[in-house]
Amino acid sequence: MPETPKPSPPFEHAVHNWEVCKELHKLTKYGDWVVTTAFYSGMKFMEDTLFPNTYDHPVKPGEQNEYKTFNAYVRDFGKTLGANKHKIMSDMVNAHIDDEEVVNSYEDLKQSCHTARYINYKVGEDRVKMALEAIETIRVFCVQ
């Protein structure tokens, strides 16, 4: 990888998942896990990009807090938002990432992962290709 990695745990986790994704793709018979590792890599790249930062309180306009980690944000607002980590991250990506291609790539990965994990693990090559393209779009955006 030619870019200099950022020294954060989410970034390191993202790179690990991305490397696993590429290795699984070489095996050709684990498309569901290629899609899954691509999504989790994307989620960690986004976590690294979005945190630390200051965010508005989701139900108290004007109130802001600084959050060093995504987990701290989820701890404070998960119950208030009535959502799991995946939904919260998806909402954050949609609200705070200005690149439509990145947002769409993230949403495609999220939906494809959900389908591969819980509905049908038999993932076609077209979906695998989409996942690899989507994670590359996200990765390039997040390492700039």
Instruction: For the beta carbon of residue 35, count every other beta carbon within 10 angstroms.
Output: 31
For the entire predicted model, the pTM comes to 0.89
Residue 74 has pLDDT above 60, yes or no: yes
Least confident residue range of 33-47, 48-62, 82-96: 48-62
Report yes or no: 93 and 46 within 8 Å, Cβ to Cβ.
Answer: yes
Tokens describing residue 140: 């390039």
- Domains of the chain, by residue range, sit at 9-53+85-143
From CA 39, how far away is CA 62, in angstroms rounded? 33
CA gap 47, 42 in Å, rounded: 8
Residue, of 78 and 115, whose pLDDT is higher: 115
- Return the CATH fold of 9-53+85-143: Four Helix Bundle (Hemerythrin (Met), subunit A) (1.20.120)
